[in-house]
């Protein structure tokens, strides 16, 4: 039986860590916004509230059956695997990207880690460079840089340009601030906008990044969810300076499996080697069964092709519906091209929102959560200023397995798919409309 801790000892323990002892880079940081909104939503649901969860961008789809079976078949694998990843997996990943992008890659170019998030963090730790990210961007890029003590520069983008980085803006910034090593993170299709880059845009950016010697991290975690079924990598335009980042979380529905991969060119081998050293002193290697299962995930097959095709069709159908419904509410947004996100502007409602005491995106999201039961995230979490009334909507609160079956087996009409298999998304649009009309 445990004895009660002596109050004096307890006080000494509490005094061991003071505010002054905490890393100054971390003191002002909040928990990840996407994870926090998920916890807040679940807490309200446990309290009996009817909450529609459009905050955390977790894939609604099940892990493909062949990949699940591969995990089951390899559950007995228990050994520590090489720090850089299972050799078989690295060869499989290299072949996958070589065929997709038409660029020579080998197992030596691949690094495997516990989710792309950890690999992105380790890359910033290994590379002493200023971080360049578009505004808006995923919530964790900037905090990771801040934790490590790196400088962060937000590059402005515009809705009318589908939130893409303008090559001239990037060129001017680097020209006026020369001589610094820099990392540019390019995420497309984008979280939070759903927008992407075409071949012409990538070529123009490649010319600028090559001119200024910028390392580009192409965060392509949503590449296989592109509604068109095609994706062109920055690595095809700037192979010598681009690191591809991906994993199983979004297109394979396996976020909780925590497996990420990075693909390096020969010219960045020193960066890759340094990251491997960091890995050897931190996470060592990731779950062996998961790595064996990932070999199946990165091996093209007719079953995986059908899974991805159906996933894209479901997501595109939902995206089209959500955009049309929200535009009917006098809300503005760009058409998403992949993933499961929409960046929604409430600017046309600014005056009415102001008269109801709502002047910031944070207040807007709090009111929608409290009064409409719809969980969204404010644009400020993604690097947009407080004076812009943007929210990010993740249309993921539906049964992905049922939706996949409906769209593949029954060729379900769009309206029936939403009504019968994604009812919460329909209700979410109804609630937002009703809430706005009541202002």
Query: Distance between CA 400 and CA 377 in Å, rounded?
Result: 22
- Say what the pLDDT of residue 1 is: 46
Query: Distance between CA 157 and CA 369 in Å, rounded?
Result: 28
Residues recorded for the chain: 439
Q: Where in the chain is the domain with CATH 3.90.1150.10?
A: 33-57+303-437
* Average pLDDT over every residue of 31-48: 78
Contact 80, 280 (CB under 8 A): no
Which token pair is 376?
A: 């969204």
Helix ranges restricted to H, 240-332: 269-281, 288-297, 302-328
Contact 80, 284 (CB under 8 A): yes
Cα dihedral 29→33→34→40 (10° resolution): 120
| 73, pLDDT greater than 50 | yes
CA distances 137 to 6, 45, 60, 320, 381, Å, are 48, 29, 22, 22, 9
Question: What letter does residue 19 receive in the DSSP assignment?
Answer: G
Which token pair is 233?
A: 């990598």
pLDDT band at 413 (very low <50, low <70, confident <90, very high): low
374's enclosing H/E stretch is strand 374-375
- Say what the pLDDT of residue 44 is: 81
Query: Distance between CA 179 and CA 301 in Å, rounded?
Result: 47
* Average pLDDT over every residue of 154-170: 97
Percent over 90 (pLDDT), the chain: 83
pLDDT in tens, 262-293: 999 999 999 999 999 999 999 999 999 999 99
| Biggest CA pair distance of the chain | 69
- Which CATH number is correct for 65-299, 3.20.20.10, 3.60.20.10, 3.40.640.10, 3.40.50.2300? 3.40.640.10
- In words, the CATH class of domain 33-57+303-437 is alpha beta
Closest CA relative to residue 210, chosen from 249, 244, 167? 167
pLDDT band at 13 (very low <50, low <70, confident <90, very high): low
Closest CA relative to residue 250, chosen from 199, 291, 190, 198? 190
| 2, pLDDT greater than 80 | no
Average pLDDT, the chain: 92
pLDDT in tens, 129-143: 999 999 999 999 999
Query: Distance between CA 377 and CA 37 in Å, rounded?
Result: 8
User: Looking at 23-64, which runs of residues are DSSP E strands?
Assistant: 52-53
Q: Where in the chain is the domain with CATH 3.40.640.10?
A: 65-299
Closest CA relative to residue 344, chosen from 327, 321, 328? 327
Question: What letter does residue 285 receive in the DSSP assignment?
Answer: S
Which token pair is 187?
A: 């995420």
Question: What letter does residue 378 receive in the DSSP assignment?
Answer: E
pTM over 0.85: yes
CA distances 391 to 368, 384, 432, Å, are 11, 10, 12
């Amino acid at each position: 039986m445990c004895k009660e801790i002596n109050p004096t000892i307890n006080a000494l323990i509490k005094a061991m860590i003071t505010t002054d002892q905490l890393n100054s880079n971390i003191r002002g940081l909040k928990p990840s916004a996407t994870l926090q909104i998920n916890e807040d939503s679940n807490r309200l649901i446990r309290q009996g509230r009817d909450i529609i969860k459009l905050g955390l961008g977790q894939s609604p789809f099940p892990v493909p059956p062949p990949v699940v079976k591969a995990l089951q078949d390899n559950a007995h694998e228990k050994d520590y695997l090489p720090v850089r990843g299972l050799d078989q997996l690295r060869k499989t990943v290299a072949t996958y990207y070589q065929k997709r992008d038409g660029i020579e890659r080998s197992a030596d170019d691949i690094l495997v880690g516990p989710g792309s998030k950890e690999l992105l963090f380790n890359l910033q730790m290994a590379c002493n460079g200023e971080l360049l990210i578009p505004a808006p961007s995923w919530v964790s890029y900037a905090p990771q840089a801040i934790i490590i003590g790196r400088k962060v520069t937000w590059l402005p983008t515009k809705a009318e340009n589908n939130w893409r980085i303008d090559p001239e803006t990037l060129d001017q910034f680097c020209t006026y601030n020369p001589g610094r090593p820099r990392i540019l993170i390019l995420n497309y299709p984008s979280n939070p906008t759903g927008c992407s880059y075409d071949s012409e845009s990538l070529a123009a950016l490649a010319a600028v990044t090559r001119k200024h010697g910028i390392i580009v991290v192409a965060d392509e975690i949503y590449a296989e969810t592109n509604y068109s079924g095609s994706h062109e990598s920055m690595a095809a335009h700037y192979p010598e300076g681009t690191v591809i980042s991906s994993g199983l979380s979004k297109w394979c529905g396996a976020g909780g499996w925590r497996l990420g991969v990075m693909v390096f060119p020969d010219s960045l081998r020193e960066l890759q080697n340094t990251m491997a050293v960091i890995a050897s002193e931190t996470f060592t290697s990731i779950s062996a069964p998961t790595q064996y299962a990932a070999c199946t995930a990165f091996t093209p097959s007719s079953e995986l092709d059908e899974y991805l095709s159906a996933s894209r069709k479901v997501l595109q159908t939902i995206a089209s519906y959500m955009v049309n419904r929200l535009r009917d509410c006098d809300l503005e947004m760009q058409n998403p091209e992949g993933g499961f996100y929409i960046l929604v502007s409430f600017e046309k409602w600014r005056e009415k929102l102001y008269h109801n005491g709502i002047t910031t995106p944070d207040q807007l999201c709090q009111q929608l959560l409290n009064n409409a039961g719809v969980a969204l995230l404010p644009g400020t979490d993604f690097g947009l200023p407080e004076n812009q009334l943007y929210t990010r909507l993740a249309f993921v609160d539906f049964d992905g397995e049922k939706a996949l079956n409906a769209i593949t087996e029954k060729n379900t009409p769009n309206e029936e798919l939403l009504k019968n298999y994604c009812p919460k998304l329909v209700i979410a649009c109804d609630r937002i409309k009703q809430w706005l009309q009541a202002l």
